Amino acid sequence: MMSRYTPLHASPPVTLFHDGHCPFCQQEVAWLEKHRHREHIALVDIQANDFNPQAYGQEFNAMMGQLHLKDSKGEWYIGMDASRALYAVLGYRRLVKISCLPGIRGAMNAGYRFCPSPN
């Protein structure tokens, strides 16, 4: 069972699955490519012609609309928890911990669900 602090325990390296057609994702990926801990992250564009979601045990439609992150232990994080796990791996654990607090967690999860999607 996942606790609200589970994203803090994501184990690098991680693989971030993102929508390469999404403007928000494009900005985030551009920032990640320059990050000092870039070596901890593999970036996979789920819109790439050669992407096969079944190779990861996933369905394309389920991956659309929210980030998916898989850590080195095989744990999956989806949506806002994928963002939390990513930022924990990048060294922003204190901010992630704050984002996991009751009230803040719910508000951030709701905000994530209402972010505009290009699809």
Q: Kindly list the domain boundaries of the chain, sorted by start residue.
A: 11-113
State pTM to two decimals.
0.83
What pLDDT digit, counting tens, does each position of 16-33 carry? 999 999 888 899 999 999
Residue 1 has pLDDT above 70, yes or no: no
Q: How confident is the model at residue 3 (pLDDT cuts 50, 70, 90)?
A: low
What is the rounded distance in angstroms from the CA atom of residue 81 to the CA atom of residue 67? Answer: 9
Contact, 44 vs 17, CB < 8 A?
A: yes
Q: How large a percentage of the chain has pLDDT more than 70? A: 87
Residue 45 has pLDDT above 90, yes or no: yes
More confident of the two residues 108 and 102: 102
Residue 102 has pLDDT above 90, yes or no: no
CATH architecture for the domain at 11-113: 3-Layer(aba) Sandwich (3.40)
What is the rounded distance in angstroms from the CA atom of residue 99 to the CA atom of residue 97? Answer: 5
Q: How confident is the model at residue 96 (pLDDT cuts 50, 70, 90)?
A: confident
Structure tokens at 86: 């990513």
